[in-house]
Amino acid sequence: MDRELFKLEYIIKSSPTVLYNYLRTPSGLSEWFADNVNIKDDVFSFFWDGSEDEARLIATRDKEFVRFKWLYDEDEDEDYYFEFRIKVDSLTGETALIITDFAEPDEKDEAMLLWEKQITALKRLLGGA
């Protein structure tokens, strides 16, 4: 079954520089995205409740975006990934975090709820929840 792309956008009360550090570094990611995060070369190991998943950092631009690909997807022809993109509104100055991810159609709602939970933790960490 093919996965569907979905995007979620959140206003984050943070500077792009501070937010980027929470999206790009193992220490930042381990504060809101996973229980623990390690990195070796360009592979990030994410630990949750005793389970581990690995993702390769496949693209990044300082203070703009970070894109990962799960290692279990690397053998597939499809271009599945998850991405954190930072966008600053030129009029209001608000910082938005745009999440891009893929999910099976019957798992999309669950995936979106999981992101909602993770972003709530990130906002709380940054003092904006």
Q: Which of 36-40, 71-75, 105-109, 121-125 has the lowest mean pLDDT?
A: 71-75
CATH number of residue 110's parent domain: 3.30.530.20
Residue 100 pLDDT: 98
CB 122 within 8 A of CB 22: yes
DSSP 28: H
Residue 45 domain boundaries: 4-125
What are the tens digits of pLDDT across the range 3-17? 999 999 999 999 999
Question: Which residues have C-beta within 8 Å of that of residue 44, sequence separation ≥ 6?
Answer: 26, 29, 37, 38, 54, 55, 56, 57, 68
- Averaged confidence pLDDT in the chain: 93
**Residue 95 and residue 103: Cα distance in Å, rounded?**
26
Distance of CA 127 to the CA centre of its chain: 19
Q: Taking residues 20-32, report their average pLDDT.
A: 96
Residue 64 pLDDT: 96
Count of domains observed in the chain: 1
